[in-house]
Amino acid sequence: MYQRAIEDWLDALPLRRQVVAYVRAQGVRAYLVGGTVRDALLGRQSYDLDLAIEGQAMALARQVADKLHAAYVPLDAGRDVARVVVRVQGSPYHFDFARLRAEDIEADLWARDYTINAMAVSLQDPWGELLDPTGGQGDLAAGVLRAVREDAFRGDPLRILRGVRLRGVLGFTLTPETEALARAWLHALTQVSFERIRDELVQVLELQDAASSLAYAGSLGVLAELLPELGGQDTPLTERAVRAVASLEELFGPWASSDETLTKMQNASSLGLLQRYRPALARHWAEELSSGHTRWVVLKLAALLGALPETLTTEGQVARRLRCSGREIRFVDAAIAASRRLLAWGARGELGPVAIYRYFRDLDDAGVDGALLSLAVHRAQMEKDGASETWAALVGHAGQLLNAWFDQQAILIDPPQLLSGHDLLQILEMRPGPEVGQLLQALREAQVQGLVNTPSEALEYLRKRIKGQASGTLSDTGAQGQHKR
């Protein structure tokens, strides 16, 4: 029965069968293991193929990468672990090769994390027997996550966070004994590298309902260890952080998903005209910021960290500690700052063109994400405190900002350059210095207001400004001075 399940799982992506056939042809003793066997038995498709090798795993992975013209990624030279990454229709598939972590395959399985991940099948043709020394099949049928051994978290405490993720991925529950073991070893999470913690946390955030897993991580005490700034489990900050992620997913999760069932769902009619930007936002959020991490997933991280005190987020301290990339750190910082700016604007009237220009000048494309994050944060607070008169104004502000970014970028955000710094030095006979940059900035603000449209008008405007005759510019949140085009 398991042979048929494995055959069907391999056939769902013919590339997997090619890899299996190639490994078989090399005459090495190898096994399908871990999540591959688990998912095959569940009939659940995934992006990974896990192979345990009796021999040189990294060398074999490089051979497979060369054959497939794929990327070869060494993961752990000390443990002889490597990955082959192949993109199929835009989606990355991982083929992981690892040397046995013990003297034989059975000992290797006993050294794994959870029983449902401690099964293996030999790659011999026909398939060898299903190896299940820890009772994984029974736990798979029961829908439970059980630690393989009492010391399963001693060697690798990150397995605790992996259990949180698997619970969310599979809809399983941790056994009471496993939960107790996890709590007993929480302190050891501080021994795990931040890079590994980041990668596992990102995989939690990739879940469609990440908030549920984060809430469980909070109740288990995991969040308190990973983000001590939240102040421990069941604290107001932890609750606020998880609620923000939940609100973001409820409002915009269907918009960011490639799942057609979800994208067809009607959600939050109170979002009004924002609905028209669903396709544009789907493309925006699908962009990878770095290392396969999409903008949508990193926005969830911003929602989680946005609950922290401003002194900890404005410098990207926590994101930096988690070893996020420079681009991710800047994005998280900017998205949180944008959200706070909109929340500070509150129920004020429509945004003027200068306010919109300055907003995106300071925050760039993260201003789009921050505008919608502000709605999620405010809605989460509304669920706690009740209805708010500010909601409609926030939706209106977000609509103006999305319109500016997606429809009027060349008018309100990045108008064409009418004069350069060189022009000011030559034509207006100015000296190099900060005043040149200040005048160019004032000129762009005049452009977005529709006060100047040509180089000659720009020169006239600057001459008047230099002489102190220009009328000045609008305040940051002014509603007056609408564009006259």
- State the DSSP string of 270-295: GGGGGGGGHHHHHHHHHSEEETTEEH
What is the arithmetic mean of pLDDT over 349-371? 94
pLDDT at 91: 77
Distance of CA 28 to the CA centre of its chain: 38
Q: If you ran DSSP here, which 8-state letter would residue 352 be given? A: P
Is pLDDT larger for residue 437 or for residue 472? 437
CATH number of 149-231: 1.10.110.30
Q: For residue 126, say if its preceding peptide bond is cis, omega within 30 degrees of 0.
A: yes
Report long-range pairs for 147-151 (Cβ below 8 Å, ≥24 apart): 147/113, 147/114, 147/115, 147/175, 147/177, 147/178, 147/181, 148/109, 148/110, 148/111, 148/112, 148/113, 148/114, 148/115, 148/118, 149/110, 150/181
What is the arithmetic mean of pLDDT over 272-286? 92
Q: If you ran DSSP here, which 8-state letter would residue 249 be given? A: H
What is the arithmetic mean of pLDDT over 462-478? 60
How much of the chain exceeds pLDDT 70, in percent?
93
* Domain positions in the chain: 2-142, 149-231, 235-413, 415-485
* Local confidence band at 386 (pLDDT 50, 70, 90 cut-offs): low
pLDDT at residue 9 tops 80? yes
Domain 2-142 identical in fold to domain 149-231: no
SS3 93: strand
Distance of CA 307 to the CA centre of its chain: 17
| Average pLDDT of the residues of the chain | 88
Distance separating alpha carbons of residues 68 and 23, to the nearest angstrom? 13
pLDDT at 474: 39
* Local confidence band at 481 (pLDDT 50, 70, 90 cut-offs): very low
Output Rg (C-alpha) for the chain, integer angstroms: 27
pLDDT at residue 478 tops 50? no
**Could you give the angle at which helices 236-256 and 295-305 cross, rounded to 10 degrees?**
160
Is pLDDT larger for residue 122 or for residue 233? 122
Q: If you ran DSSP here, which 8-state letter would residue 71 be given? A: E
- Does the domain at 2-142 match CATH 3.30.460.10? Answer given as yes
What is the arithmetic mean of pLDDT over 328-351? 91
What six digits make up the tokens of 452? 């100047």
Q: How many residues does the chain have?
A: 485
pLDDT at 233: 67
What is the arithmetic mean of pLDDT over 153-162? 94
- How many other CB atoms are found less than 10 A from the CB of residue 183? 14
DSSP alpha helix (H) spans, 235-352: 236-256, 260-263, 278-286, 295-305, 310-313, 317-321, 326-345
pTM attached to this predicted model: 0.87
